[in-house]
Structure 1
Amino acid sequence: MKPLALGLLVDSEIKLRQLSSLVIKMGQRVEYSAVLPQYEHSVVPDLDLEDLECIANLDAWLVDITCVENERSSTTEVLSVLLATVDVPVLLSDSSEVETDGTSLLQWSDRLCARLQRLVGEVNLASNTPANMVWVLAASTGGPQPVREFLHALPTGLGVGFLYAQHIDQEYCGSLVTMLGKNASYLGVAPEQGAVIKPDTVTIMDPARRAELQDNATLVVYDEPWGGRYKPSIDQLLANLASTQKERGGVIIFSGMGLDGAASCRLIKQQRGQVWVQEPTTCVVDSMPQAALATDCVDFTGTPKELAANFVQHINHINAMKEAVSS
């Protein structure tokens, strides 16, 4: 995914170095930077044509200037003009409030990195249409084949994006992408920082890197492992889905060994989401579907083709109700 072109506006060279380092660490690009004079009534240098061209192509601004009480100071005036005139996001920070000890600086850095991660998704939303609904396809042992069968039986245009959580070693993720690539209807993609979950796509969750879905249907990907025993953690992903998507979310639990996903099925139902499972008698290993059924939260059970057929009816019914309300 193309890195963001960011503009940095600061009031010291130290801040410029700090923020530039963070931006590069996050895999983004500093396209333009300016250090404003700290003394009052100073004049900001005129921008030349090259500066103006860079600014015109920015995806967002990252601003870190010390707040001042004098509303006529040059830094305040520049910030006021920036906020009033730009049509791209402006991320404000004030590192002057951070103490100089290592712990405080690290906490500030972590907070700013998290905000930058979310900013990537917000910028990507400007040029990408997110899915109306997001469902998780959850599986372990014996899961890839029924998941593929389910996707093959679906038509496009339902407005749904899928997150595929398959217990698998990281080196085999490419095989899943290849497998889904044989299905022309739904595109298999890898999770990327700030990626928008689009309709008719299947994002294959990385077992080595934890990811979270935001309420605007964008992803935040962390350089840290999933919690718990299973990779990726279906329970963790479903808890996240329940929190951010609520009734717009759902899960289908396919063949698999273990109990992963069962605990968070209750969270999905509490938020009025849907919980479906593959018919246990058609699974290579039925532990995961049986564990989900034991929660009494399951709304539908069927073979992969039956799941697909009912899924189409379910989504079409929801879309028809939305159209009736809006008309």
Structure 2
Amino acid sequence: MTPANPRIGIIADTRLQAHLLASAVKGQGYEVVLLNTDPANLEPDWLTQAPDLWVVDLSQEDRWQQFLDHLLESAQAPILFCDGQAPARIAPEYPRWERRLLAKLLDYVGKPRIREELETLTPAATPARPIAAPREFQGLAAGQVPEQVWVLGASLGGPAAVKQFLDCLPATLPVAFFLAQHIDGGFLDTLAKVLCRDNSFHCDVGHDGMVLHAGQVLLAPVDYEVTFTETGQLRSSGKPWEGPYSPSIDQAIQNASTAFGARAGAILFSGMGNDGAIAAPAMAATGAPVWAQSADSCAVSSQPDASRDTGCVSYSGDPEQLARQLVEHVRRALNPATGHTTQTL
């Protein structure tokens, strides 16, 4: 029997704080079932409806002392008292505030019920339109050292979007991809098989010692963090990924940026939560591009929206538009006439 999704009740004494809390909780995949912004007018039976957790944020606790006493006596579920007002979504500190909130929710009620259905990777009704390879790609073969390494970050709804993106790309694109996909480790081999079923890329689950090559997609292992050498070799850190979900998109972006600098890039695809929103601004600050799937093309847009809110995303589009943007970006890097110099790992 499929477990029920944790149900969260929110009580705050300002509409803005209630909205920010509800948005953050929903964005992480939990169900907000009760919301109240005026504890003084709480319905008599409200506290008996028993969500799995109450999240309470009162800016004027002294004013609501009687209510708090009643809540502590009557609530049938655990109570999480927030220890500070949420920053604005566009504030630099917002992603870390949201990550701290998620850590507390996980401690109280566990992970939300998010299951990626690989059936969404069945052939699309409208086949992808492959992009013609520019002349700059002539003579470049799959398997050689890639010109660039791009981290693809994805969660719920991500596999279908990533597959559409890959299906549009020309076989001679001199790029290697590292996919950090939130998924149960038992599905990684299946995901690797179906992602490249209708394109010319070679997909594998990444392991310690493997080397990134052009025309390749390596899936981040779930059980342990990997870093990269300057030559593109994966190295196990010997530690699990940090954060609530594995693999960590933030760590994957950070590690790629450290190894490859401006030769790296990142694209945030559909997903719950805000994984990537902490490391993406730091990557963009080095001059490396950070892009995101457009909200209207996502199954769930919380994840790319979180990075967009930081101001670091320089391009947004649907999977096909992202593919065309990447082909043009690489073409310009290979063509000295554009003012760019060719760089290899």
Tell me if both proteins adopt one fold, taking TM over 0.5 as the criterion: yes
Structure in which a larger fraction of residues adopt helix: 1
Q: Per the alignment, in what secondary structure is the counterpart of residue 315 of structure 1? A: helix
Deviations along 1:6-26, whole A, 9 cap, x unmatched? Answer: xxxxxxxxxxxxxxxxxxxxx
Deviations along 1:263-284, whole A, 9 cap, x unmatched? Answer: 1111111211010000011111
Residues 323, 199 of structure 1: CA spacing in aligned structure 2 closer, same or farther, 3 A cutoff?
Answer: farther
Map residues 57-206 of structure 1 onto 2, 5 A cutoff: 129-206=144-221
- For residues 244 and 181 of structure 1, what CA distance do their matches in structure 2 show? 26
Q: Per the alignment, in what secondary structure is the counterpart of residue 163 of structure 1? A: strand
Deviation of 1:184 after TM superposition, in Å, equals: 3.4
- TM-score scaled by length of structure 2: 0.55
Which has the larger displacement, 185-194 or 150-159?
Answer: 185-194
Aligned partner of 1:293 in structure 2 is 308
- For residues 134 and 287 of structure 1, what CA distance do their matches in structure 2 show? 25
Map residues 261-300 of structure 1 onto 2, 5 A cutoff: 261-300=276-315
Q: Per the alignment, in what secondary structure is the counterpart of residue 262 of structure 1? A: coil
Structure 2, unpaired ranges of 5+: 1-142
Structure 2: which amino acid aligns with 1:133? Q
Structure 2: which amino acid aligns with 1:291? A
Compute the RMSD of aligned alpha carbons.
Answer: 1.7
Map residues 210-229 of structure 1 onto 2, 5 A cutoff: 210-229=225-244
Deviation of 1:243 after TM superposition, in Å, equals: 1.1
Aligned partner of 2:259 in structure 1 is 244
Deviation of 1:222 after TM superposition, in Å, equals: 3.9
- For residues 223 and 268 of structure 1, what CA distance do their matches in structure 2 show? 24
Aligned partner of 2:25 in structure 1 is none
1:315 corresponds to 2:330? yes
Identify the match of residue 255 of structure 1 among 266, 270, 273. Answer: 270
Deviations along 1:220-254, whole A, 9 cap, x unmatched? Answer: 02443111111000111111111111110000100
Task: Indicate conservation of the 8 Å contact 2:163/2:196, yes or no.
Answer: no
Question: How many residues matched?
Answer: 199
Which has the larger displacement, 218-227 or 189-198?
Answer: 218-227
Task: Indicate conservation of the 8 Å contact 2:151/2:266, yes or no.
Answer: yes
- For residues 257 and 233 of structure 2, what CA distance do their matches in structure 1 show? 15
Structure 1: which amino acid aligns with 2:227? E
Deviations along 1:18-54, whole A, 9 cap, x unmatched? Answer: xxxxxxxxxxxxxxxxxxxxxxxxxxxxxxxxxxxxx
Structure 1: which amino acid aligns with 2:234? L
- TM-score scaled by length of structure 1: 0.58
- For residues 337 and 160 of structure 2, what CA distance do their matches in structure 1 show? 33
Deviations along 1:151-192, whole A, 9 cap, x unmatched? Answer: 000002221000000000100111211112313311111212
Aligned partner of 1:53 in structure 2 is none
Q: Percent identity?
A: 34
Structure whose alpha-carbon radius of gyration is higher: 1
